[in-house]
Structure 1
Amino acid sequence: MATDQREEEAIQALTQRLTAAYSTTRSPAEVEAAVAAAHASFEDRPVRDFVPVLVERKVRAILGS
């Protein structure tokens, strides 16, 4: 299932927010990779409304919030 425009925009905004939040401890490439991996883990889920929130939680756990 392809992601819709709103989800893609939310993921981009999330990436920017997390890149700023982790700028002192993680490189932008590390944050982007974590977001991409977390987002891919929800690829097969039929309900997409909460995917950006779930991705953020997963990335913060990965990067050590």
Structure 2
Amino acid sequence: MADKAREDEAIRGVVERLTDAFSATRSPAEVEAAVTKVHASFTDRPVREFVPVLVERKARALLSNSSG
């Protein structure tokens, strides 16, 4: 349970960092949607330690590369 709380806190940090990084081009809702989508892709992964780092990298790439 503590691991889930720690991961959730880390994911909130990812949303905050990416919202700041993309504030000129993306709305906070777009950033949160991207992070949520990427985070969901890791749902069935048994090793959770690096999930927030991987989510941040993939969401950053998604936000950088997607149009509109």
TM-score range, shorter chain: over 0.9
Aligned partner of 1:37 in structure 2 is: 37
RMSD over equivalenced CA pairs, Å: 1.2
Where do 5+ consecutive residues of structure 1 fail to align? none
Normalising by structure 1, we get a TM-score of 0.92
* Total equivalences in the alignment: 63
How far apart are 1:15 and its partner, in Å? 0.3
Aligned partner of 1:61 in structure 2 is: 61
In structure 1, distance between residues paired with 2:27 and 2:47 = 31
Q: Which runs of 4+ in 1 moved over 6 A?
A: none
Which structure shows the higher helix fraction? 2
Where do 5+ consecutive residues of structure 2 fail to align? none
In structure 2, distance between residues paired with 1:61 and 1:10 = 18
* 2:11 is aligned with 1:8: no
